[in-house]
Amino acid sequence: MSREPMAPLTQIPAYLQTIADYEVEAEKHLSSMVWNYLQGGSMDEVSVRDNLQQFQDIQLLPRMLKDLTQGSTELEMFGQKFPHPIFLAPIGHQQQFHPEAEAASALAAEVMGSNMILSTFTNTDMRALKQDNPRKWFQLYWQGNREKSLALVKMAEAHNYTALVITVDSPHTGIRDRERRAFFHLPEGMQHPHTPTHIPLPELKEGDHPVFNGLMKIAPTWEDIAWMVQQTHLPVILKGIVHPQDAQLAIQHGVKGLIISNHGGRVLDTCISPLIALQLIKKVVPADFPLLYDGGIRRGSDVFKAIALGASAVLIGRPYIYGLATAGALGVAHVIKILKEEFEITMALMGTATVAEIQPGCVLNRIE
């Protein structure tokens, strides 16, 4: 039965204390079609569930009686300093969750000292985000050719984005049964300032395969990544790498960091869990090579566990969209605040004064 979504809240009620609370609340503010788009994954959604379950399989091993009076959540990466390691993952089409879209998320990120990664499929022009905010990166979906892709990168450079994230794990969209059952579609006339929602496909000749001679024909390759590295002064980060051999290839092609991710379970179902991938990749890259973690973060203790297993920082996706749908910028800021405070308290109770002190010895039953 269809229902009319509630309007976004203008203040945060006392009953919203956790990300789980926000998940329950957000559903009230979205149509069932958009809710299914947000919550869904590919095929049987095994990976969606695994991304959440994996954190419960890891136990914390705290140390006591340490002097933590100089404690801090600060970190440095790519020559930048960040107040804490909780970043906002790139998510497109945010206007379907709140009228102020990415502008609201960016405002919340700036206020809370979080790094914002703006999607290619933003409804908010990249030039509208505050010029002098150094904590904003641009995420690129390959535009089918080098020239169109580079044009977006040069625009990001000109507007003070400080890193380039290239998503490489979705050259073809996942088979999303839940979305299809809900007849999901974007609103007619929704603006995407920087790209069409569908990149023009090559014209198929007789005998051509619709997948391999279609989308896959215009998908990026390692040669394209190496070319892009040469075209930009921004550090290039690949999002969606899960295989150790691909991590090594990325370094060989000039990539400066990786986001370990299975796309929130939205592309390839039963793809390796990102926490397992993180540990495998950590073994084959230089000790100081930045590895960011994406997938299933719902608690500050999850942030801690991901860092203990090798992450330099973490990305949150669905959680901040729950906040956006509930109360716009205010909701996103509150979600970041919840996770940041939980992370700080976890650090204190674990006897770790700095992010650098969060090491593999802090956890037991590591999944490998």
Instruction: Name the residue among 254, 246, 247, 248 with its Cα closest to residue 226.
Output: 254
Q: Do residues 103 and 85 make contact, with C-beta atoms less than 8 angstroms apart? A: no
**Annotated binding-site residue? 120:** no
**Annotated binding-site residue? 261:** yes
The DSSP result for 63-112, as a single string, is: --S---TT----EEETTEEESSSEEEPP---GGGT-TTHHHHHHHHHHHT
| 368 half-sphere exposure, CB direction, 13 A CA radius | 12
**Annotated binding-site residue? 297:** yes
Q: How many angstroms from the chain centroid is the CA of residue 192?
A: 19
Terminal Cα distance for the chain, rounded: 43
**Annotated binding-site residue? 177:** no
**Annotated binding-site residue? 318:** yes
**Annotated binding-site residue? 293:** no
**Annotated binding-site residue? 321:** no
Q: Do residues 71 and 353 make contact, with C-beta atoms less than 8 angstroms apart? A: yes
Q: Is 352 helix (H, G, I), strand (E, B) or coil?
A: coil
**What distance in Å separates the CA atoms of residue 336 and residue 329, rounded to the nearest whole number?**
11
Alpha-carbon distances of 131 from 28, 106, 160, 301, 334, rounded to whole Å: 34, 12, 6, 33, 24
**Annotated binding-site residue? 57:** no
Number of H helices, E strands in the chain: 11, 12
Partner residues linked to 86 by β-bridges: 314
User: Does the annotation count 263 as an active-site position?
Assistant: yes
**Annotated binding-site residue? 170:** no
**Annotated binding-site residue? 276:** no
**Annotated binding-site residue? 326:** no
Alpha-carbon distances of 125 from 100, 141, 158, rounded to whole Å: 12, 16, 13
**Annotated binding-site residue? 317:** yes
Query: What is the DSSP-derived secondary structure letter of residue 45?
Result: -
Annotated active-site residue in 29, 84, 263, 334: 263
Contacts of 269 (CB under 8 A, 6+ apart): 41, 42, 43, 44, 45, 46, 47, 174, 175
**Annotated binding-site residue? 141:** yes
**Annotated binding-site residue? 208:** no
**Annotated binding-site residue? 139:** yes
**What distance in Å separates the CA atoms of residue 4 and residue 64, rounded to the nearest whole number?**
51
**Annotated binding-site residue? 119:** yes
> ∠238-337-312 over CA atoms, to 5°?
30
| Active site (catalytic) residues | 263
The annotated binding site for glyoxylate is made up of 37, 141, 167, 176, 263, 266
Q: Which residues define the annotated binding site?
A: 37, 90-92, 119, 139, 141, 167, 176, 239, 261, 263, 266, 294-298, 317-318
Which residue numbers belong to the known binding site for FMN? 90-92, 119, 139, 239, 261, 294-298, 317-318
